[in-house]
Amino acid sequence: MADDEVELSDEQKKEIAKWFLLNAPAGEIQFVAKDVKKILNDDKLYHEAASEAFPQYNKSHMISLEMPGLVGDVIITPFNELEENEFLDPRTTQVAIIDNIKQVCTAVRPALDEELPSAYVEDFRCAVDEEIARYVGEAYPKGVCSVYCVTGKDAEGPESDFELAVVISASRHSPQNFCNGSWRSTWNIEFKSDFQSLEIRGKMQVVAHYFEEGNVQLDAKHECNDSTILQAPEDCAVAIANIIRHHEAEYLASLETSYSNLPDTTFKDLRRKLPVTRTLFPWHNTSQFSLTRDIAKELGVGK
């Protein structure tokens, strides 16, 4: 080993491996994992890195896994995580046990009573879930969604506060065409009894990766706030779905406008206005330029 070379410790190697895994584009962590494992050439070290990185990646990308027995899909998020590798699907009242590294659901069990919200909260959760599912079915091909109670799940009446989280995830993976992408949005809805209002906080994210003879990535994020009045469950659900529909459509439209203008704005600004000679290229008389003649002249050949 050369004197100026420094051997990385196992901990440093693990942290570097985790960085690559956590920053893998949507739908590509398994491809990155194969390369990382080969580079590390240490199964124990790779397993340590993967065991820490995959759970974070799965939750941040809100991946959807099919549950055994054709009972439905479970979305992996921080909102429905019960224990390590256990995630609640409130729609089916099942708990999915998953293998984070293989990204598969290995088993399911019925949810316990204490893991589910009260009947009062569940009325609101179910109503919102139904409206959001209808919206996602119309707006996102192959999109999935779920609604979770994240605080105040034991609330028993109108005088109690609680919070729901709406999760929407849609992805399109097409590695054979050198592109992958996903849409992820989360909406936290606070039910405030004192003010008879709902406070809504939304976070939206679009990511895409194009890698045909290149490597171009998009990662766009947007946050917003809104509110509405507290009503009966069905009326609240309609109002919440309309607010989410409005903000997501508005954001997608702004993205479309922004990127359609790229050729005339950003890309044009990236081009050099003038060459380094500060003079325009004489396209009307290109015969005065000859690469072979210039090279010959510089090399002193052909004289």
Question: Mind listing the pLDDT tens digit for each residue in 249-296?
Answer: 999 999 888 877 766 666 566 666 666 666 766 666 655 555 556 656
Please, which pLDDT band fits residue 29 given cuts at 50, 70 and 90?
very high
pTM over 0.85: no
| Cα(167)–Cα(26) distance, integer angstroms | 17
More confident residue, 105 or 269: 105
| Cα(252)–Cα(236) distance, integer angstroms | 24
Which residue segments constitute the domains of the chain, with CATH numbers given? 8-60 (3.30.1140.60), 62-115 (3.30.1140.60), 117-262 (3.90.1150.210)
Give me the pLDDT at residue 257, please. Answer: 85
Among 22-26, 132-136, 273-277, the minimum mean pLDDT is found in 273-277
Q: Report, as an integer, the average pLDDT of 114-128.
A: 96
Give me the pLDDT at residue 82, please. Answer: 95
| Cα(37)–Cα(95) distance, integer angstroms | 31
Mean pLDDT, the chain, whole residue set: 88
Please, which pLDDT band fits residue 158 given cuts at 50, 70 and 90?
confident
Q: Report, as an integer, the average pLDDT of 227-252.
A: 96
Cβ neighbours of residue 243 closer than 8 Å, sequence gap 6 or more = 200, 226, 228
Residue 302 has pLDDT above 60, yes or no: no
More confident residue, 283 or 31: 31
- Cα 113 to its chain centre, rounded Å, is 31
Structure tokens belonging to residue 122:
């569940």
One-character DSSP codes across 36-52: HHHHH--HHHHHHHHHH
Residue 122 has pLDDT above 70, yes or no: yes
Which of 286, 52, 47, 61 has the alpha carbon at shortest distance from 167? 61
Q: Report, as an integer, the average pLDDT of 6-19.
A: 91
